[in-house]
Amino acid sequence: MRSALLSTSWRLSAVLMAAALSACSGGGSGAVGGLSPSPTPATAPPPTYDTAEYRANYGLGAINAIAAYEDGLSGEGVTVAVIDTGIDLDHPDLNTNISAQSIGISAGTYAAANDADAEGHGTAVAGVIAAERNGSGMHGVAFDATLLAINASDPATCPGECEFAQSALADAIDYAKNRGAKIINLSLGGAAAGQSLQNAMQSAVEAGVIIVISAGNDGAAIPSELAQIAGAGWADGRILIAGAVDANNLIADFSDRAGDAFKSLYVVAPGVSVRTTGVGGGQVIATGTSFSTPHVVGALALLAELFPNLSAHDLAEIILTTAHDLGEPGIDAIYGRGIIDLDAAIQPLGVTGIPTAGGIVPAAADTPALAATALSLSPAFGDALAGHAAFANAMALDGYRRSYRFDLNRLTARSDGSRDLLSLIDSRRYGMARRETVAPGVTLSYAAARDGELDRLIDAAAAEKPRLSARLGLERAYADGSRLALFVNDPAAAVGGDSTAGVFLQRQSLAFGLLEDDSVTAHAERPWGLVRLGLTSSFSRIEDGAGPLAGGSSRLAMASAAMALGSQTTVSLGLGLLEEDGLVLGSRSAGALRLGEGATTQLLDGRLTWAARPDVTVFAHGVIGRTSITGGGGSLLRPAGDLVVAAAELGALWRGALHAGDVFGLQLSLPPRIEAGSVVIGQIIGRDYAADRLQFAETAAPLSPSGREMDIEAAYALSLIGDATLQINASYVIDPGHRADAGDAVSFLISLSRAF
Helix and strand counts by DSSP (H, E) for the chain? 15, 38
Would you place residue 624 in the very low, low, confident or very high pLDDT band (cuts 50, 70, 90)?
Answer: very high
pLDDT reading at 452 higher than 50: no
Report the pLDDT value the prediction gives residue 710, as an integer from 0 to 100: 94
pLDDT reading at 459 higher than 70: no
Residue of 50, 71, 84, 490 marked catalytic: 84
CB-hemisphere CA count at 13 Å for 675? 13
pLDDT tens for each residue of 315-366: 999 999 999 999 999 999 999 999 999 999 999 998 888 888 888 888 878 8
CA distance 331 to 260: 9
Amino acid at 7: S
Average pLDDT over the chain, rounded to whole? Answer: 85
Average pLDDT over residues 32-47: 53
E strand or H helix that includes residue 454: helix 452-458
Which residues, other chains included, contact 31 with Cβ-Cβ below 8 Å and sequence gap of 6+? 37, 71, 347, 404
pLDDT tens for each residue of 231-242: 999 999 999 999
DSSP string covering 197-236, please? Answer: HHHHHHHHHHTT-EEEEE--SS--SS--TTGGGGGSGGGT
Q: Between 725 and 148, name the one with better pLDDT.
A: 148
- Three-state SS string across 109-164, please? ECHHHECCCCCCHHHHHHHHHHCCCCCECCCCCCCCCEEEEEECCCHHHCCCCCEE
CA distance 477 to 341: 76
Backbone φ, ψ for residue 247 (5° rounding):
-65, -15
Average pLDDT over residues 187-199: 95
Burial of 407-439, coded b for 16+ CB within 10 Å and e otherwise, reads: ebbebbbbbebebeeeebbebbbbbbbeeeeee
Q: Give the residues across from 711 on adjacent strands.
A: 669, 733
Which residues, other chains included, contact 622 with Cβ-Cβ below 8 Å and sequence gap of 6+? 605, 606, 646, 647, 648, 649
pLDDT tens for each residue of 568-584: 999 999 999 999 999 99
Average pLDDT over residues 75-96: 97
E strand or H helix that includes residue 478: none
Would you place residue 750 in the very low, low, confident or very high pLDDT band (cuts 50, 70, 90)?
Answer: confident
- CA 10, 11, 14 angle in degrees (round to 5)? 145
Report the pLDDT value the prediction gives residue 388, as an integer from 0 to 100: 80
CA distance 67 to 73: 9
Burial of 568-606, coded b for 16+ CB within 10 Å and e otherwise, reads: eebebebebebebebbbbbbbbbbbbbbbbbbebebebe
Average pLDDT over residues 426-433: 50
- CA 323, 328, 331 angle in degrees (round to 5)? 45
Range ranked top by mean pLDDT from 129-143, 572-586, 623-637, 653-667: 129-143
Neighbours of 114 (CB within 10 A): 20
Within its chain, how far is the Cα of 421 from the centroid?
A: 33
Q: Which of 13-22, 46-55, 193-202, 484-493 has the lowest mean pLDDT?
A: 13-22
Cβ atoms of 19 and 282 within 8 Å: the answer is: no
How far, in Å, are 65, 254, 473, 590 from residue 212 at the CA level?
18, 19, 77, 44
Would you place residue 503 in the very low, low, confident or very high pLDDT band (cuts 50, 70, 90)?
Answer: confident
How far, in Å, are 99, 260, 332, 370 from residue 329 at the CA level?
42, 14, 7, 30
Report the pLDDT value the prediction gives residue 303, as an integer from 0 to 100: 97
How far, in Å, are 512, 519, 533 from residue 442 at the CA level?
28, 22, 20
Report the pLDDT value the prediction gives residue 507, as an integer from 0 to 100: 58
Q: Give the residues across from 683 on adjacent strands.
A: 697
DSSP string covering 237-300, please? Answer: T-EEEEEEE-TTSPBPTTS---HHHHGGGEEEEE-SSEEEE-TTS-EEEEESHHHHHHHHHHHH
CA distance 472 to 392: 45
Backbone φ, ψ for residue 523 (5° rounding):
-140, 135
Cβ atoms of 153 and 121 within 8 Å: the answer is: no
- CA 226, 229, 234 angle in degrees (round to 5)? 160
CA distance 60 to 67: 10
Q: How far apart are the first and last CA of the chain?
A: 109
Average pLDDT over residues 539-557: 83
Cβ atoms of 638 and 610 within 8 Å: the answer is: no
Q: Is 121 a catalytic residue?
A: yes
CA distance 573 to 608: 9
- Longest Cα pair distance anywhere in the chain, in angstroms? 122
Which residue, among 6, 278, 298, has the nearest Cα to 117 in the 3D structure? 278
CA distance 31 to 383: 26
Q: Between 3 and 735, name the one with better pLDDT.
A: 735
DSSP string covering 79-94, please? Answer: EEEEEES-B-TT-TTT
Backbone φ, ψ for residue 753 (5° rounding):
-130, 160
Q: Which of 67-76, 285-294, 457-466, 552-561 has the lowest mean pLDDT?
A: 457-466
Q: Between 333 and 750, name the one with better pLDDT.
A: 333
Query: What does the radius of gyration of the chain's CA atoms come to, in whole angstroms?
Result: 37
pLDDT tens for each residue of 466-502: 444 567 888 888 888 888 988 887 666 665 544 444 6
The percent of residues in the chain predicted with pLDDT above 90, rounded, is: 54
Residue of 224, 255, 290, 731 marked catalytic: 290
Report the pLDDT value the prediction gives residue 37, as an integer from 0 to 100: 61
Which residues, other chains included, contact 248 with Cβ-Cβ below 8 Å and sequence gap of 6+? none
Average pLDDT over residues 512-537: 81
Which residues, other chains included, contact 278 with Cβ-Cβ below 8 Å and sequence gap of 6+? 15, 16, 88, 119, 120, 123, 124, 127, 284
CB-hemisphere CA count at 13 Å for 358? 14
Cβ atoms of 317 and 45 within 8 Å: the answer is: no
pLDDT tens for each residue of 396-425: 889 998 988 888 888 888 866 555 555 555
Neighbours of 722 (CB within 10 A): 7
pLDDT reading at 720 higher than 90: no
How far, in Å, are 83, 128, 137, 274, 422 from residue 132 at the CA level?
19, 10, 10, 16, 60
Cβ atoms of 353 and 400 within 8 Å: the answer is: no
pLDDT reading at 663 higher than 80: yes
pLDDT tens for each residue of 102-153: 999 999 999 999 998 888 999 999 999 999 999 999 999 999 999 999 999 9
* Exposed/middle/buried for residue 9 (C-beta within 10 Å: 0-12, 13-18, 19+): buried
Cβ atoms of 348 and 402 within 8 Å: the answer is: yes
The percent of residues in the chain predicted with pLDDT above 70, rounded, is: 84
Backbone φ, ψ for residue 421 (5° rounding):
-60, -40
Which residue, among 693, 585, 584, 683, has the nearest Cα to 632 in the 3D structure? 584
Neighbours of 199 (CB within 10 A): 14
Give every strand in the sheet of 183-186, ordered side by side.
103-104, 146-151, 79-84, 183-186, 210-214, 239-245, 266-270
Q: Is 290 a catalytic residue?
A: yes
CA distance 493 to 513: 12
Would you place residue 451 in the very low, low, confident or very high pLDDT band (cuts 50, 70, 90)?
Answer: very low
Would you place residue 39 in the very low, low, confident or very high pLDDT band (cuts 50, 70, 90)?
Answer: very low
